[in-house]
Structure 1
Amino acid sequence: MSLPKPTLSTVASKKPRETAGSAAVTAFDFQVNVSMARILELHQQGKQFVAVFDHHDDLVLFVEEGDGSELSFYQVKSRSKPTWTAKKLAQRAAKGDLPRSIVGKAYYNVVQFGAEIRRASILSNRPLSATLTSAATSALHDGELAVADLCVADQASVIKSLVSRFPLITDWWSIGMSSRM
């Protein structure tokens, strides 16, 4: 008895049991591409650097700058939905080690390394929908923003997610807010 010869259309015609693997590969591809873009920028600028992947954060860059150096940490996140919000970045995952929010993971490095850090950033393929302190309405923002650039309500979402894991942040929040009022 002869078995039918399998074809590519045979495989393509059936729905896969699960697709988590391909989603993970897509997210990992984005992480690799973003990391390589940062590395190529530094190389093009002629800077001396060391890049570390998936240790402390998705990407850690140590850049030598003359007499000084800078240490930067990057959370690299991709998503298919059109935008991020401060609330979504601050949302805690149901399980896993603390901190569970994307913002919490970035802030954890600030706590660990303090003044040695140049930046703790979140890099994404989607813009942030937020209201800046200098604006009256929400808009889409690409590029690097500091938490201080966000309106009070968006800052509150971020800070609220950090308070349970990093209690001292409430002191910073009080001091930071009183100096602006």
Structure 2
Amino acid sequence: MTGLTTTLVAAKPREKAGPRTGARYAFQLHVSLSKVLDVHASGADYRALFDHFDDLVLLNKSNSPDRIDFFQIKGKQQGSWTASGLCALSDDIPRTIIGKMYHNTKDFGSAVGACSFLTNAPFQLTLADGTKTTPDHIKITYASVGADDKKRFSAALDADFPSPRTPSEDDVLCFERTDVPVTGYDVFLKGKLVDAASTKDGLAITALYRTLIEDVTARAHDTTECTCVSDVYSRKSLGRDEIEAAFTAAEARRGILDDWAVVDDALKEAGRGTVARIKAKTAMVSYLRDRSRRAHEAVVLAADVRDALHKVKASAQQCGSLLTATELVKAALPTPKPSHPIEIVEAAILLELYEALNG
């Protein structure tokens, strides 16, 4: 065991009363998974801990890590984050957001790489060169913040962590934005998974999304007291290998094109001729390609179809025929109907039905 892994077991995680629910908590989980997917895409090794010490914790190695990064995640519907807001006093300990960002340094010391505040909203801070931050500032290091805002932050930190502080806040604090929205975070993350698997047409994205969210949620909700590092890893974390295994399993799943003979039989039973059936398969290939590329029209159509399916899912599952279920979903689409060729609309509905019933 390294010094860091020893501390992972010895340090006391923040207190919580078991499973938490609601849109705010779901947003945090989706932001956490989005951040993990970014690291995964880079090819780097990692291990992510969920709702343990902080909303998200990233270790730089899946085994025997020597660096730890903490992320406090908060969503904001409107407005910006200011120095005053980040320093506002609360009844909790630590008493400020900036203090909550810093507090894990007391246990983890020199192993801390960064303590970040991760949010969807922009920051309204003054930088050391006198300029103001804009929504285009995605990552702002504490060292780059101007003297006046630093004075506010330092005074707020003094309330819980009197000066001098080691490590210095200059070395570890960071303000970062996520592109995950506070509403529609599930649709956004499914799109991100489509991008991550863009070379795999027909991949069951809905099933992959559900698997990953369930895995993250289970670990975030686990309140077992961990007595060894293997407990921490198995109960509270996912490593690179576990995430990769989820993608591999999703790739191995049969997609709708693998089962097209079933769809083709349903089209035959409905009296569709050879040309119509060829058009249906061509439309499916085209729709899968456009959805994988996140073409705007395909993304909008997918969202409309998912909403329509959600409204009639119980009835659709009782339908005796695939095309009957397709017509049921089609009737529930928004008015005016999507301006796509009917074959593309049917392809989108067939795909969503397939993933819903087989995911």
Of the structure 1 ranges 152-161 and 108-117, higher mean CA displacement relative to structure 2 is found in 108-117
Amino acid aligned to 1:109:
N
* More strand, by proportion: 1
With over 3 angstroms needed to count, the CA separation of the structure-2 counterparts of 1:69 and 1:41, relative to structure 1, is farther
CA RMSD of aligned residues (A): 2.6
Q: Deviations over 1:6-34 (max 9, x none)?
A: xxxxxxxxxxxxxxxxxx72221221121
Is the radius of gyration larger for structure 1 or structure 2? 2
> How far 1:170 moved relative to its partner?
6.8
> How far 1:100 moved relative to its partner?
2.0
2:31 matched residue in structure 1: 34
2:121 matched residue in structure 1: 126
From 53, 56, 59, the equivalent of 2:50 is 53
Provide TM-score, normalisation by structure 2: 0.38
CA contact under 8 A between 1:163 and 1:169: conserved in structure 2? no
Provide TM-score, normalisation by structure 1: 0.72
The question of 1:63 aligning with 2:60 is answered yes
> How far 1:124 moved relative to its partner?
0.3
Q: Aligned partners of 2:43 and 2:134: how far apart in 1?
A: 33
CA contact under 8 A between 1:159 and 1:169: conserved in structure 2? no
The question of 1:139 aligning with 2:136 is answered no
Q: Deviations over 1:126-157 (max 9, x none)?
A: 0110110013x433253221222111110011
* More helix, by proportion: 2
From 69, 73, 80, the equivalent of 1:72 is 69
Give the SS at the match of 1:115.
helix
With over 3 angstroms needed to count, the CA separation of the structure-2 counterparts of 1:169 and 1:30, relative to structure 1, is farther
Q: Which runs of 4+ in 1 moved over 3 A?
A: 169-173
Gap runs ≥5 in structure 1 = 1-23, 177-181
1:44 matched residue in structure 2: 41
> How far 1:68 moved relative to its partner?
6.7
Gap runs ≥5 in structure 2 = 1-20, 172-359
